[in-house]
Amino acid sequence: MAATTTAHEHMVVQDTLVGVGAAAHIARHSPGRVLADIAAKERILLQYERLRQRWEQGEGADDATAGAIDSLEKALHALAAAYAEPVPVAEAYADEPLF
């Protein structure tokens, strides 16, 4: 049986070597999608750093900025938790207040 190939974004997958489930996984984690995810997280971090710097310099020191900084800190902690060892489970955050 000859192997057929299917182009998917920037990848070529041989159907005889990679099943449908693996092909779907490859599509979800394509280089373009991973880079977009990294860029989105970088924007969140940069926004936090800018607000924090303004706050520390005495600019924009108001309740709205304080709330934004607090919310961004919580979002960054939540994103970083995925890289913690051991990875925390959702139940550990059940009692933690949301933003």
Q: What pLDDT digit, counting tens, does each position of 38-72 carry?
A: 999 999 999 999 999 999 999 878 999 999 999 99
Residue 67 lies in a domain: yes
How many independent structural domains does the chain possess?
A: 1
Q: How far apart are CA 92 and CA 34, in angstroms?
A: 27
Residue 18 lies in a domain: yes
What confidence tens digit (pLDDT) does each residue in 7-17 have? 544 445 554 45
Cα Rg, the chain, nearest whole Å = 21
pTM: 0.62
Domain carrying residue 77: 5-84
Least confident of 1-5, 42-46, 73-77, 90-94: 1-5
Cβ within 8 Å of residue 81, ≥6 positions away: 87, 88
Residue 95 lies in a domain: no
